[in-house]
Amino acid sequence: MKPMKLVPLLVIASVLSFTAHADPKSNCAAKIKELEQINKTDGQALHGGMAHEYHELLDQAKKGQAAQDWTQCQASADRAKTIYNKARGR
Q: What is the pLDDT of residues 27-85, one digit of tens each?
A: 999 999 999 998 888 766 677 778 889 999 999 999 999 999 999 999 999 999 998 88
Q: What is the pTM of this model?
A: 0.70
Chain centroid offset of residue 37 CA: 12
pLDDT of residue 16: 60
pLDDT of residue 9: 62
CA distances from 43 to 6, 19, 36, 46, 62 (A): 30, 26, 9, 6, 18
pLDDT of residue 85: 86
